[in-house]
Amino acid sequence: MSADEPLVRVDDLQKYFWENDSLLDRLLGDEPVPVRAVDGVSFDIYEGETLGLVGESGCGKSTAGETLLRLREPTDGRVEFDGENVYDLGGDRLDAFRNAAQIVFQDPFSSLDPRMTVGDIVRQPLDIHDVGTDAERREGVRDLLERVGLSADQLDRYPHEFSGGQRQRIGIARALALEPDFVVLDEPTSALDVSVQAQVLNLLDDLQDEFDLTYLLISHDLSVIRHVCDRVAVMYLGEIVEIGPVEELFEAPKHPYTRALLESIPRASTDERERDRETLAGDVPSPRDPPSGCRFRTRCPLVIPPADLEIDQDVYRVLMTLRERIERRDISLESVGEGNRFETDDGGVPDDEVPAFVATLKARLVDVDLPPRHDAVVEDALADLAAADWEAAAERLQAKYESVCERSHPGLGDDGHPVACHCYGEASERTPEPATWR
């Protein structure tokens, strides 16, 4: 393999889980619903480097790691290891890939069989792949335990007799038993005490040099990512939104989501006690029904307004949130006003009470002063709600405020620090400079 070629190449990897897909569902005529855990992920990992994969819980990081190792079968996409497509392998070639690519799981308590001794756990990969003689396997296990900081005298003990940090060392020893080239580290320190995390990270760093390992480190802990990684890929709702060298990404992040993650890191300096922190609007959307266009647009503080619309970002964000709530019908119309005084039998509000209904609902949903022309659009949409016409209200706001961020999906690009954000595309001239966001 050329030094310029990646050891691992992930190309448009997809992994969907399906709901309403049982035999009974099919007999009842229910349509299967895809849960898009990993949806078109692409990245490269070069020999000897550590690539960090970071994002909020539930974004698909662990599923991506397990799928590229073929612990889960993909829905679509391609993963190449040392130039070969992992999903085309079978027989001896698949066994060779299993030897060369291993994983350290997140939970050291559930990833070890409580009925097996530590010696048997570490030796199991050697037995399965028939590596060496019986004596060589016993000696190899003793050597591995000592290399990860445990004693060879502990071979006959069971997992419950060890602390969390020691169990993770056992998991690391098991992963190294077959002398792999590539290891996926799935949140290797998240279940450990803070005092133990640094020890395990330093151990992984030492083992990387000793065994010439290549790592994919999956974590939501940005301090761990910065300490260990060479490059970082940021993941949001099943997609990669930014990839860059670790120091460059931490010092000059491009994507608004990356900046929000970095803003969430606690600061030790007392000089930053009074700093203003930008918080994200809304909740993480469901992977069952992700937003159109840019998936981060429902929470982004830099959503691009339509080209003919001069509007402040904070006002536009409020209008986008109002529209999204109307589209989801996430507004209780029956509780508007004291004593439900606007409620009628047919679900509509009497004409003479519509102005009061609109004023009451606007005061509840809109917490900024709107310019007159935007105020009029919002009042017309809320008047549609007075007639219980949700679709008309949503269409009215869409016609006026639809963004390029929802019409078009931003590509990641292929430069040295790619980012999937319309702020760096053709529409970027209409957005604030990214560096001014915080």
How large a percentage of the chain has pLDDT more than 90?
Answer: 55
pLDDT at 29: 73
Any idea where the domains of the chain sit in the sequence? Answer: 8-251, 313-402
127 vs 121: CA distance, rounded Å: 10
| Reported confidence tier of residue 189, pLDDT bands at 50, 70, 90 | confident
Query: What is the pTM assigned to this prediction?
Result: 0.85
| Reported confidence tier of residue 95, pLDDT bands at 50, 70, 90 | very high
pLDDT at 436: 40
The answer on pLDDT for 27 being more than 80 is: no
The continuous run of DSSP H or E covering 144 comes out as helix 134-147
3-class SS at 38? Answer: strand
pLDDT at 411: 87
Give the mean pLDDT of 141-164.
92
Q: Which superfamily does CATH assign the domain made up of 8-251 to? A: P-loop containing nucleotide triphosphate hydrolases (3.40.50.300)
Mean pLDDT, all residues of the chain: 87
CA-wise closest residue to 190 among 220, 217, 160: 220
281 vs 296: CA distance, rounded Å: 10
| Reported confidence tier of residue 19, pLDDT bands at 50, 70, 90 | confident
Between helix 164-176 and helix 194-211 the angle, nearest 10°, is 20
The answer on pLDDT for 55 being more than 80 is: yes
| Reported confidence tier of residue 431, pLDDT bands at 50, 70, 90 | very low
265-312 confidence digits (pLDDT tens): 766 555 555 555 566 766 788 898 898 999 998 888 888 888 888 888
Who wins on pLDDT, 345 or 395? 395
Minimum mean pLDDT range among 62-76, 131-145, 350-364 = 350-364
Cross-strand partners of 38: 15
Minimum mean pLDDT range among 177-186, 302-311, 316-325 = 302-311
Give the mean pLDDT of 174-187.
95
332 vs 360: CA distance, rounded Å: 12
Beta strands 101-104 and 8-19, pairing class: unpaired
The answer on pLDDT for 103 being more than 50 is: yes
196 vs 204: CA distance, rounded Å: 13
